[in-house]
Amino acid sequence: MNEIFLLKLGEIVLKGANRKQFENRLKANVARRMHPFGDFKVSILQSTVYVEPQNDQCDVDGAWEACHTIFGVVSLCRCRPCEKDLDAIYAAILAYLGDDLAAASSFKVESKRSDKRFPLNSIQISQHIGGMLAEAFPHVAVDVHNPEYTVYVEVRDFAAYVHGPAEPGAGGLPTGVGGRAAVLLSGGIDSPVAGYMIAKRGVELECIHFFSYPYTSELAKDKVLELARRMTRYCGRMSVNVVGFTEIQEAIRDHCPEEYFTIIMRRFMMRISERIARDHGCGCLVTGENLGQVASQTMQAMAVTHAVVHLPVFHPLIGMDKEEIVTIARKIDTLETSILPYEDCCTVFTPKHPKTKPKLAAVETVESRLDVEGLIERALQNTEIVKVRYHG
């Protein structure tokens, strides 16, 4: 084939003894992600993943776009492979990059030679090819300091590759090298972003959603499933555990003072989530909490909320401003679903004056009016697991 992708690895290059495991995982992830786009050969060599379409039926543009959402890839380029020979390299540049080069006002050539048997070093390659191109494109000035366009030549083990500027990859670590996390997914803007940020560190996700039918509608549930579906673009396949939460919310409403509704509800969410997390081999819980955003997200309220679980609770958005969160939501394409106007169980029975500085002992006293264990057991039995497949 006359075009291939080179995906450059980021931090995983640094990981010493784990490197092989990381590379194998990344290779498997790339192969799985390429599958819907046709027959691609995926191999890994010298900290670079090679993705080669095997026939003309491959959807090369679709595959290229998907490569931008694979964690563990720091940058990527579409290249033309050619023989390791100056004339062949020159011809490949003319055919593959000629139009881009002709449209630029200035250019330079940057070369890399990982095959040390190649007779010229990288500076010599750049000089040679640069000279040939300067003659072919007399109107495009050579500017080695601040060129508008850079032609890249890489002389590697099996071939040479020419390409234009690389594009940024998704960064992070390959999905699966960092274990599993259970994300509490509401229908809001924050929690999908929190899930994405943890997934970026190489973590597979299991989602948990608390659903209070009929106070929250089927449409609200569909919205959360759609959010999860959108997250798969970066985070990979996952399941959403939809927990029936109505009985718990009604019990809290019927037996607890109003100002404690939210905090006690959140303690139930944490307890149930911890049990689901353990059942699915997850090592932590993740929420979209953000300091000071609402009454339940003060330090004191979070301390009381998290006091009921032993697993670590991560909240990657804790110190971010809303605008920063929205920027990521837009980038990962969850924003437009998040802002659909369906209610969340958090907005059912919302107290007018929630306690912003709840005391643990007082909350525990109020909570002791409830059959906590029984409520949790029944909610767990009333949990539906929905598998969410990747969608482009």
Which chain residues interact with ligand ATP by CB under 6 A?
Answer: 184-186, 188-191, 208-210, 269, 287-289, 293-294, 296, 344-346
Half-sphere exposure of 202 (CA within 13 A, CB side): 17
The number of angstroms, rounded, from the C-alpha of 214 to the middle of its chain's C-alpha atoms is 32
H or E element in which residue 100 lies: helix 86-103
Partner interacting with residue 5 (select from Mg ion, ligand ATP, none; CB below 5-8 Å by kind): none
Q: CB of 344: closest distance to Mg ion in angstroms?
A: 5
Query: Quick one: 94 exposed, middle or buried, by C-beta within 10 A (0-12, 13-18, 19+)?
Result: middle
Which residue is associated with the tokens 């190489």? Answer: 202
Return the residues of window 19-58 that contact Mg ion according to CB under 5 A.
none
Tokens of 160: 């040479």
Cβ nearer to ligand ATP, comparing 140 with 251: 251
Binding mask 337-356 for Mg ion (x = CB under 5 A): -------x-x----------
The verdict on 305 binding Mg ion (CB under 5 A) reads no
Partner interacting with residue 209 (select from Mg ion, ligand ATP, none; CB below 5-8 Å by kind): ligand ATP
The verdict on 186 binding Mg ion (CB under 5 A) reads yes
Cβ nearer to Mg ion, comparing 181 with 346: 346
Q: CB of 200: closest distance to ligand ATP in angstroms?
A: 17
Residue of 201, 170, 177 whose CA lies nearest to 19: 177
Which residue is associated with the tokens 């920063």? Answer: 324
The verdict on 287 binding Mg ion (CB under 5 A) reads no
Cβ nearer to ligand ATP, comparing 98 with 244: 244
Q: CB of 266: closest distance to Mg ion in angstroms?
A: 11
Q: CB of 322: closest distance to ligand ATP in angstroms?
A: 9
Tokens of 1: 């084939």
Contacts of residue 262, defined as CB under 8 A and 6 or more positions apart, other chains included, come to 295, 296, 346, 350, 351, 354
Q: What is the DSSP letter of 353?
A: S
Binding residue count for Mg ion, defined by CB under 5 A: 4
Amino acid at 90: Y
For binding to Mg ion (CB under 5 A), which residues are involved? 186, 188, 344, 346
